[in-house]
Amino acid sequence: MTALPLVIRPEHPDDGLAIERLHARAFGPGRFARTAYRLREGTQPLPNLCLTALVGTYLVGSVRIGPAEAEGGTLLVLGPLTVDPSFSDRGIGSALMRASLEAARGAGHGLVVLVGDAPYYARFGFAPVPPGRLVLPGPVDPRRFLWLELAEGAGTSLSGLVRPTRD
């Protein structure tokens, strides 16, 4: 964990601009072309599962979770997990991940998927989606398409194309 005076709190409606600036600094303009971003287009993140990290009044991290569906039911899509590059390697991303997954479990959700670095996300229990089980709406390295069952067996009933759940 970090020695910074870090506060993890729910995302506030007025955090949007600061989070967008954070995403731009961390991921650059190419982020919009990625499959993970396409999966989130047109959907709103779930407010009770989206968290921010602050050092003082400075927003240094954010994690968002949104709704999705596949054949057989619903699931969650985690991302982006973002930490200000000048605050990297201080445990902020890990703190956000643990808190967001705990919130999702507490809210009764069963499955979370993401596109990300398998060695990083393995520490939280994520593993590659079994081949042929779920498909994303665009190209992705299958080693980076990960899932975590928050409830045992939650992934067994889901298959096919993962699509954003729109209001």
CB 12 within 8 A of CB 51: no
Residue 135 in any domain: the answer is yes
Give the CATH number for residue 93.
3.40.630.30
> Which domain range does residue 68 map to?
6-164
Q: Which residues pair with 53 in a beta bridge?
A: 8, 61
Kindly state the average pLDDT of the residues 137-145: 91
CB 73 within 8 A of CB 158: yes
- Assign 2 a pLDDT band (cuts: 50, 70, 90): very low
Provide the pLDDT for residue 62.
Answer: 94
Classify 68 in phi/psi space as left (phi over 0), alpha (psi -120 to 50) or beta.
Answer: beta
Kindly state the average pLDDT of the residues 113-133: 96
Provide the pLDDT for residue 65.
Answer: 95
In angstroms, what is the C-alpha Rg of the chain? 15
Is residue 1 pLDDT above 50, yes or no?
Answer: no
CA 63 to CA 101: how far, in whole Å? 10
Residue 84 in any domain: the answer is yes
- Assign 30 a pLDDT band (cuts: 50, 70, 90): low
- Tokens representing 154 are 């939650």
Q: How many domains does the chain have?
A: 1
Sign of the alpha-carbon dihedral angle for 10, 12, 18, 20: positive
Is residue 34 pLDDT above 70, yes or no?
Answer: no
**E strand map for the chain:** 6-10, 51-55, 58-71, 73-83, 111-115, 127-128, 134-135, 145-149, 159-164
Provide the pLDDT for residue 120.
Answer: 96
Provide the pLDDT for residue 18.
Answer: 87
Residue 1 in any domain: the answer is no
Average pLDDT, the chain: 89
pLDDT digits (tens, 9 = 90+) for 39-91: 767 778 999 999 999 999 999 999 999 999 999 999 999 989 999 988 999 99
Instruction: State percent of the chain over pLDDT 90.
Output: 70
